[in-house]
Amino acid sequence: MATTFGETPFIRKKRRDEAIVRVVLGLMALAMVVPLLLIVGYLVERAWPLLSLDFIFTNPTHGMREGGVWSALLETLYLVTVSLLIAAPVGVLAAVYLNEYAKKGWLTRIINLAVVNLAGVPSIVHALFGLGAFVLFAGMGRSILAASLTLAIMTLPVIIASTKEALASVPLSFREACWNVGATRWQTIRGIVLPNSISGILTGVILQVSRTAGETAPIMFTGAVFFKRIEEGNPFAYSLSDQCMALSMHLFTITTQVTDAPKALPYATAVVLLGSVLLVNACAILVRLRLRARKKW
């Protein structure tokens, strides 16, 4: 290729450097792929003897040394649902404000900074906040409601960030056309902006769900308990003011507190937790890919 200019040592060195760098950087990127595959593979392999639908649908028994994960999984669903019902409307409307109403200025700057900081606050500090504000100050006690509120505030930035991105990707000309026929700001948002960014918003909501399902620290002191007996097969066993188990908390408990459990039990629990979280994330990725394929502008 470069023979026109001759293979001077300088060019040869340049080429060699390029090749080396490409390989080194490629290996660095590979260093992220490999652990993910190895870890998931190892966990599934160790968990294999116990993995079955039965494991998912039976309650833990004998001091969590036997049985499945049903009650913990069910309660994670409760926490996720309640916190989603709180976080989704607030987060979407906050993003609508930031993208459609806010003017560039100090207030917007401070709001954005607050969102970034809310995402950066350590999860255990969120737990302290939930304990101080919801459990003690608001008098909710340790309950599903207090834990869900804590989780909702913690995951709010996830929804705000991806909704903002989705709203910003709707071209300005769409809005201008709508304003020009006399629609108000809100009519434009409802009629044009939200329908055109719904997939992006959905992605954010799904990511919030996956994040909520995996968190442990924020619920440790606001509502989750080591063990709670529920009736098998009854999916409505809880009220908002009850304490609850949670899959993430359950994994922590049987890993650190229950020492004589069968070897495969914690692995199987970890696989169920990891599997459900990754499954939810895969949904978000699929939604996003479909959105990109369908996009018309």
Residue that has been written with the tokens 């792929």 in this structure: 33
User: CB–CB of 247/72 below 8 Å?
Assistant: yes
Kindly identify the residues of this chain, within the stretch 47-86, that bind another protein according to CB under 8 A.
none
User: Toward another protein, which CB reaches closer, 82 or 271?
Assistant: 271
CA gap 180, 173 in Å, rounded: 10
CA gap 133, 146 in Å, rounded: 9
User: Toward another protein, which CB reaches closer, 14 or 235?
Assistant: 14
Max distance between CA atoms of the chain, in angstroms, equals 81
Kindly identify the residues of this chain, within the stretch 114-173, that bind another protein according to CB under 8 A.
114-118, 120-129, 131-133, 136-137, 153, 156-157, 160, 171-173
Least Å from the CB of residue 242 to another protein: 19
What is residue 40's three-state secondary structure? helix
| Positive/negative CA dihedral, 19, 25, 31, 37 | negative
User: CB–CB of 130/146 below 8 Å?
Assistant: yes
**Of 53-61, 64-72, 96-104, 232-240, which part binds another protein (CB under 8 A)?**
96-104
**Of 49-57, 58-66, 235-243, 272-280, which part binds another protein (CB under 8 A)?**
272-280
72, 94, 151, 201: which one binds another protein (CB under 8 A): 94
CB atoms under 10 Å from CB of 177, counted, come to 13
**Of 52-60, 66-74, 227-235, 270-278, which part binds another protein (CB under 8 A)?**
270-278
User: Toward another protein, which CB reaches closer, 239 or 282?
Assistant: 282
User: Toward another protein, which CB reaches closer, 143 or 248?
Assistant: 248
Q: Assess 248 for contact with another protein (CB under 8 A).
A: yes
Return the half-sphere exposure (C-beta side, CA atoms, 13 A cut-off) of residue 63.
6
Kindly write out the interface string for residues 2-41 of this chain, putting x where it contacts another protein by CB under 8 A and - elsewhere.
------------xx-xx--xx-xxx-xx-xxx-xx--x--
Give the gyration radius of the chain's Cα atoms.
24
Q: Assess 182 for contact with another protein (CB under 8 A).
A: yes
